[in-house]
């Protein structure tokens, strides 16, 4: 929080020196479920669309970008057009330039693919009903993946599959219990078999409050 505040102060001082007095006119404005329609660099900014109204949001070094699906902090480069995001931002007014600037505090990616190890992945979420540590696979039910729902799905893993909690504690396959809700970052390939099958490259054990 201190780091964020310091960066905002620096941002304001630089703005005053370069283009005149800047006033904070609204703090913690919040736009929910907005679609990213454009991305620009140098300076980094995105244009989001909500209720057919476009809003330009500047992104600074203090902006936290989080994937709700991956439970990970992401970089600006992770953002893609077509993503749906929640944005919390401050609004500044520059009197000399007679314009408003929206500066993002937090961007939460709620829907859309994130670049991860150079692959375009799908995230499967479900509840573990079977696990075989010897054969390195598990079965999950109540599955949601890529906007589709399935009664169950087979997830294959191997010794390279990363298993962690949502707060990034490293776990093993033996820590996965029946009834555990989890998210699986997959390779993006799902078979058309019944039940469908895929390969997990990362498994995220969700806390009870998210189950």
Class of domain 2-116: mainly beta
Tell which wins on pLDDT, 111 or 158: 158
Closest CA to 150 of 161, 166, 158, 139: 139
CA dihedral 91, 99, 31, 38 (to 10 degrees): -130
CATH superfamily ID and name for 119-210: Copper binding periplasmic protein CusF (2.40.50.320)
CB 159, CB 103: distance < 8 Å: no
Two domains, one topology: 2-116 and 119-210: yes
What digits encode the pLDDT tens for the residues 20-60?
578 999 999 999 989 999 999 989 999 999 988 999 999 99
Average pLDDT over residues 142-167: 89
pTM: 0.56
Domain ranges of the chain: 2-116, 119-210
What is the rounded CA–CA span in Å between residue 189 and residue 172?
24
Within 8 A by CB and 6+ apart from 73, the residues are 64, 65, 66
pLDDT of residue 209: 61
What digits encode the pLDDT tens for the residues 102-113?
999 999 988 765
What is the rounded CA–CA span in Å between residue 187 and residue 77?
20
């Amino acid at each position: 929080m201190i780091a964020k505040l310091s960066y905002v102060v620096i941002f304001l001082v630089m703005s005053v020196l370069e283009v005149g007095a800047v006033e904070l006119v609204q703090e913690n404005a919040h736009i929910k479920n907005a679609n990213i329609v454009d991305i620009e660099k140098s300076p980094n900014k995105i244009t989001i669309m909500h209720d057919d109204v476009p809003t330009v949001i500047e992104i600074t070094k203090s902006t936290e970008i989080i994937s709700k699906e991956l439970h990970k902090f992401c970089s600006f480069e992770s953002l893609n057009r077509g993503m749906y995001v929640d944005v919390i931002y401050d609004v500044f007014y520059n009197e000399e330039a007679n314009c408003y600037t929206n500066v993002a505090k937090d961007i939460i990616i709620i829907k859309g693919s994130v670049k991860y190890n150079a692959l375009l992945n799908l995230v499967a979420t479900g509840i573990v009903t079977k696990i075989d540590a010897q054969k390195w696979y598990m079965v999950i039910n109540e599955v949601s993946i890529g906007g589709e729902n399935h009664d169950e799905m087979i997830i294959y893993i191997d010794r390279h599959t990363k298993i962690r909690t949502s707060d990034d504690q490293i776990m093993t396959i033996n820590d996965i219990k029946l009834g555990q809700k989890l998210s699986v970052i997959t390779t993006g390939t799902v078979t058309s078999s019944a039940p469908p099958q895929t390969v997990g490259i990362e498994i995220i054990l969700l806390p009870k409050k998210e189950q």
